Each structure stands twice: as C-alpha cells, then as structure tokens.
A = this chain, B = another copy of it.
Amino acid sequence: MTTKGGGARSKRSKRNGASPQSVREPRGEPPLSLERIVAGAVELLDAEGLEGLSMRRLADRLGAGAMSLYWHVANKEQVFDLALDSVLEYRASPHVEPRDWRGDVVHMLEDWRASMLRHPWSASLLPRRALGPNILARLELLGKTLSSAGVAQADLNVAIWSLWNHVMGATVTRASFDLSKDDQAAAQQRLAGLSGRYPTIESSRLLLDDDWDGAFRKGLDFLLDGLCP
C-alpha cells in the first residue's frame, strides 16, 4: 500500500479507491511526451525543491504509471539536465543597435541570474556535466559580445569564465542564503556571541547585508572594469 502516500499527495485526490490510474485531469489524459515530463519536472521542482523530485512522484503527477518515464528518459540525471536547460532559455530582445556592449553584458547576466533565482533549485544544479543548448547559447552570446567589444582573443575564455563564475557564485550563494533568513540572523548572533573572533565581518554585517541585487551589480562592475580597462 505504498501508493497511499503518493496518491494522497497528488492534487485533487478524490478517494482514489480502485481507480486503475492515479488521479489526473478529470478528462483528456495527455500522451506523456518528453516535453510534458520536463514541464512537470520544473513544476515539481518549483513546488517542492530539489529533494521533492522523485521519478515516482513525477510520474504520478503526470498521471502515468510509476515506471513509464523510463521509456522517454534514461534516468533521473537526465530529467535534471533537461529541466535545468529548459529554465535557461534566453529570449534576447530584438536589440537593433549594438551600441553599448557593457550594458548588453550587464543585461544578459542579470537576466541569467534572474532566470535562475526564479527557480532556486537551478542554482545548485547548474555547474553540471551536461551543458544544454540554452546554456551554450547564453555562453555564445556572451562570448560574441565580449569579442566584439574588443576583448583580446587570448583573454576571451578567461573573461567568459570569470563572468560565469560571478553569476554562478552570486546566484548559488543568494539562493541558499535566501532560504534561511532565520539561520542568517542566528549566524550573525553567533558571530556577536563569539565577541571578537570575527570582528571585521561582524562589523561590516556581512551576513546580514541582503542587498543581493546591488552586490551582484557592483561586483559585476568591478569585474568589467578589470576586464576592459
């Protein structure tokens, strides 16, 4: 009777007595495609976080038998990879004039960060073996912009990775700190309690500063200053 938990969890469970299928849309069972799987995974991740995604729960949510996913997908890893890339699609603005390259870069990276913060699980997932097409497209656009802004070919990869690092580091840090404001306050408390062990970051209130957007933007400016003097 292990299905009881899963069944109860899935929305609108009407006494699922002897129903052959888990409860799904009252009508029109959809056909279970790769797209539906990925979309469902993103929904589930948004709702329950990284830990909340299991193959069984995902299948249940899609109204499919527990093991049906494995026809469309090799394993759970792949579901993660696909969900991650799907969330990083970049809808570039029409963007007629290649005027302000610096503004372009800032905009691209702020959009990148914002996309990930909209799905906080993506942050801890990103530095991943599989770089999907959307991630590659973002890297390509970044590289192209930097290149046309005059970054030397020899410095290009370093510049790309440095900006990538800034986005990843800032996003991952923010996503994990944001989830626990209380812990944050507790940490600062602890700092204070240890009176004098960490005087600098205590007095700068490093752990309480929650202007993440500003810090991201200012840090990015510093980095771009160094990259393109």
Contacts and interface: CB of A to CB of B under 8 A. Distances in A.
A209 B127 contact: no
A161 B183 contact: no
A51 to B, nearest CB: 11
Contacts of A180: 129
Contacts of A204: 143, 153, 156-157, 160
A129 B179 contact: yes
Which has the most chain B C-beta neighbours within 10 Å: A155, A166, A205, A221?
A166
A162 B206 contact: no
B201 A143 contact: yes
A144 B172 CA distance: 24
How many copies the complex holds: the figure is 2
Interface in A5-54: none
Given A129-B176, A143-B204, A219 B187 contact: no
A164 interface: yes
Contact of A226 (B139, B167, B199, B223): B223
A136 B222 contact: no
Interface of A: 123-124, 127-131, 136-137, 139-140, 143-144, 147, 153, 155-162, 164-170, 172-173, 175-177, 179-180, 183, 187, 191, 197-201, 204-207, 209, 214-215, 218-219, 221-227, 229
